[in-house]
Structure 1
């Protein structure tokens, strides 16, 4: 989906060269490169490795109502062109996050997006309510890949009506920009995107991890203690790119592309397919400077193409034979 350019907030400073600013609803970003939840901790872990002030936005790891200890190890396994993880959404909980993590995060000029997760619709709403008005929180990203405990463990992100209920609950509890992170483990991701759009989302991000597993043939045991986990990395990029393209054509919301993005060329592909911004995830584990390098690479691409504004290339994929 190609969108009209909107002037971001005055405090975002333009660098020389092409204008790479983008808007995600009312959220103004200096550039389209965000970090993906669960791959960048609470940002402070990367402060000596990355210039955090050069990123478009930081998405912190998922925050639940109460602290979560996560799954037992092993929780991460390398796979061909990617990795499986079954961390179990380990986090400090929303109250400790606000009291202990936000002091550092609010010192940054880079917008901070808080990813939230819950076991019930009510939990999502309560987390959003507690974060609403917290200084330094620029937006919420809602992880609907979590299991609905009250409905027997079916993930919120697999049924349109359940995804809509979560979106409505968060929208009612908070006035912050609302991004809903979609799961690829569905029959029709476009239906999910339309459901959360109608329920009040300001943007969608996709895709979350695909469900996979790995087995040790010698021990005949799963390589993850949890048996199954989320597959991420370059291996899922073609699937993510296809889904972003489909969703961007179907909804009027800004789309944030996620999945196997490791280079500026990867990022540009997603934006040509209709993404207004992208998130860098698995690449952060082996190259902490990946996101920063992608920012520079996007600028180089625009200069090479003779483009003055990044927004002018969004959704310009040529699908005809000419």
Structure 2
């Protein structure tokens, strides 16, 4: 960790690097929570973002699940949108021109039900002006493997990563599912398969029940839990993954403030993504950028990069990774 002090009148450098991709600051928007960015143009200054990650794009348009698709939970929300999107061809013709004009990195989240779909989407995105990176959603079911999610098996996760890397002309970020026994196994597998960076975590699986009707609240029965409630889980997983991979890690999960974002960076994240907070405060991402800048200035840091992985463990026994189940002791 760098130990340099900011001189009077000097502005903190918030730039970070995600592989070959340089961001003006470490704040991105999480896929599925920011639409195609245009929805927020009158609510915040989009140019302040380090990068925008669009909602997941599939090979063909998807209508998503029937309502009810969202419910509020204690400190968060459950969603079962069903990956509704316009499909890759309409995304390129209808959305990318606007996104490219923002002059900030645009990362396209992609999803598929087979390796062939991931490859085809990546191939169609190659050479499209404004596409700065691809984020691969591996929480999707592999229809040829009985519906098992790609992200729950190291071999399948690696296969998707390799397939996308083979067709991509931009850096590839792989978004990990938390619904696994040991997330570090998946992280190592996608790194070895060529991922340029890793983002985590995607939503946890949950459900809600309506006592009056005795039916599930969500029409899909189960959904993805996000928001502040999952932050401790996400923080722990980012900490674990950052210790076993050498590529950049991007933290996601319950980040609402600059303090939250900085905790993830201390745990080893190079950058963060703001998700559910966008529904509560459309300016959340911009507020986090401002807060990180203020923190860096207050701490007299010349570069925010100096805090990445700076969690102090020197006064503690080496128990932080001795057990994945400390409560069992």
> Which residue is equivalent to 2:239?
245
- How much has 1:308 moved relative to structure 2? 1.0
- How much has 1:109 moved relative to structure 2? 1.0
> Which residue is equivalent to 1:128?
122
> Which residue is equivalent to 1:12?
none
**Unmatched 5+ stretches in structure 2:** 3-8, 317-329
- How much has 1:321 moved relative to structure 2? 2.5
Instruction: Give me the whole-angstrom Cα distance separating, in 1, the residues matched to 2:120 and 2:167.
Output: 7
* 1:291 maps onto 2:285 in alignment: yes
- Per-residue CA deviation, residues 128-181 of structure 1 (Å, 9 max, x unaligned), is 010011000000000000000111100000000000000000000112100000
- Per-residue CA deviation, residues 259-290 of structure 1 (Å, 9 max, x unaligned), is 00000000000000000000000000010000
TM-score normalized with structure 1 length: 0.95
Equivalent of 1:205, from 179, 199, 203?
Answer: 199
Shift in CA distance, 16/87, structure 1 to aligned 2, threshold 3 Å: farther
Equivalent of 1:159, from 153, 165, 168?
Answer: 153
> Which residue is equivalent to 2:78?
84
* 1:22 maps onto 2:16 in alignment: yes
After the TM superposition, list the runs of 4 or more consecutive aligned residues in structure 1 that deviate by more than 3 angstroms.
none
> Which residue is equivalent to 1:143?
137
CA RMSD of aligned residues (A): 1.2
> Which residue is equivalent to 1:189?
183
- How much has 1:94 moved relative to structure 2? 0.2
- Per-residue CA deviation, residues 18-73 of structure 1 (Å, 9 max, x unaligned), is 00000001111000000000000000000000100000000000000000000000
Instruction: Give me the whole-angstrom Cα distance separating, in 2, the residues matched to 1:255 and 1:148.
Output: 25
> Which residue is equivalent to 1:8?
none
- How much has 1:16 moved relative to structure 2? 6.0
- Per-residue CA deviation, residues 1-25 of structure 1 (Å, 9 max, x unaligned), is x79xxxxxxxxxxx96100000001
- How much has 1:320 moved relative to structure 2? 3.0
> Which residue is equivalent to 1:105?
99
**Unmatched 5+ stretches in structure 1:** 4-14
Equivalent of 1:312, from 302, 306, 309?
Answer: 306
TM-score normalized with structure 2 length: 0.93
Equivalent of 2:37, from 43, 50, 69?
Answer: 43
> Which residue is equivalent to 2:215?
221
Aligned residue pairs total 310
